[in-house]
């Protein structure tokens, strides 16, 4: 076995009873990476019986509140639990300054935290090595392009990068779509074999999911970032089309790779 993946949350941006925004842990022998730290991330981990200081590194796909709005509160919990080991936070290189700034403005100052935070900027299509046996490649999705289309003058200091990730756990590939805007975004990593695909279900429809199964041919397709209404709609269509190989991931679920 190369590692395990545990869903800390599977909900969309909508707050729903008893569920948390989409995030998951990628665990290998070398360490634990949390992917996404949206609003309520510290509580979501707590719900799953996981301590904040089990996490060695955090990767954030983009900065909507359901993906990064809980980062500061989670770092605060790490500090209150007497963390001494360094923490790495991966974000797009154009967002490194903003992440530093939001931590500093919440008084998460390195000199008083008691541990070191390294905010590491990634570039699309460039491999990031997290630990021995775990690396990831980010690729740009068009999820945030609507903000660019909505204005002639992009707000200078705001980055509009949303990433999808391909994780390599040893010889196993896991694709996480992050948030997307089109069917094309679901196929960003269709150029290589995919053992498991974690696909968001809020910004795409059942037809896009069925097409992804046919084109990307993942060994396993798990849906995340779904609201109860999304689930009803998508499930109805999957049943109509008799599609067998799709799973709705649930908060707390673990898969082994």
Chain residues binding Zn ion by CB under 5 A are 13, 64, 66, 179
Nearer to Zn ion, 13 or 257 (CB): 13
What size, in residues, is the chain?
257
CB nearer Zn ion, residue 27 or residue 185: 185
Minimal distance, residue 203 CB to Zn ion, in Å: 8
d(CA 135, CA 53): 21
CB-CB contact of 9 with 48 (8 Å): no
- Burial code (b: 16+ CB inside 10 Å, e: under 16) for 118-131 equals ebeebeeeeebebb
Minimum gap (Å) between residue 5 Cβ and Zn ion: 18
Instruction: Give the nearer residue to Zn ion in terms of CB position, either 14 or 243.
Output: 14
CA distance 123 to 201: 25
Q: Is there a contact between 58 and 39 (Cβ–Cβ < 8 Å)?
A: no
As a whole number of angstroms, the distance between CA 161 and CA 142 comes to: 8
Closest contact distance (angstroms) between CB of 219 and Zn ion is 25
Residue 21 or 172 having the CB closest to Zn ion: 21
Residue 181 or 243 with smaller CB distance to Zn ion: 181
Least Å distance, CB 204 to Zn ion, is: 12
CB of 115 to Zn ion, least distance (A): 28
**Phi and psi torsions of 198, nearest 5°:** -105, 110
Nearer to Zn ion, 131 or 233 (CB): 233
Residue entry with tokens 């541990």: 115
| Residue 15: half-sphere exposure toward Cβ, Cα within 13 Å | 6
Q: How many angstroms separate the CA atoms of 227 and 19, rounded? A: 10
CB of 66 to Zn ion, least distance (A): 4
């Amino acid at each position: 076995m190369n590692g395990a993946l545990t869903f800390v949350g599977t909900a969309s941006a909508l707050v729903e009873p008893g569920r948390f925004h989409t995030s998951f842990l990628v665990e290998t022998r070398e360490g634990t990476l949390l992917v996404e730290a949206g609003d309520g991330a510290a509580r979501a981990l707590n719900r799953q019986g996981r301590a904040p200081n089990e996490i060695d590194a955090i990767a954030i796909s983009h900065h909507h509140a359901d993906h990064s709005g809980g980062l500061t509160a989670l770092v605060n919990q790490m500090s209150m639990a007497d963390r001494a080991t360094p923490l790495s936070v991966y974000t797009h290189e154009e967002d490194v300054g903003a992440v530093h700034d939001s931590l500093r403005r919440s008084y998460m100052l390195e000199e008083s935290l008691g541990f070191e935070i390294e905010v590491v900027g990634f570039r699309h299509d460039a491999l990031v090595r997290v630990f021995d046996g775990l690396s990831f490649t980010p690729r740009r999705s068009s999820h945030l392009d609507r903000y660019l289309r909505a204005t002639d003058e992009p707000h200078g200091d705001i980055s509009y990068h949303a990433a999808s990730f391909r994780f390599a756990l040893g010889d196993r590939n896991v694709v996480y779509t992050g948030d997307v805007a089109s069917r094309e975004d679901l196929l960003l990593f269709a150029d290589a074999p995919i053992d498991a695909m974690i696909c968001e279900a809020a910004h795409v429809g059942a037809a896009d999911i069925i097409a992804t199964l046919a084109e990307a041919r993942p060994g396993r397709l798990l849906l995340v970032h779904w609201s109860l209404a999304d689930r009803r709609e998508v499930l109805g269509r999957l049943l109509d089309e008799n599609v067998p190989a799709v799973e709705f991931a649930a908060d707390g679920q673990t898969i082994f790779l």
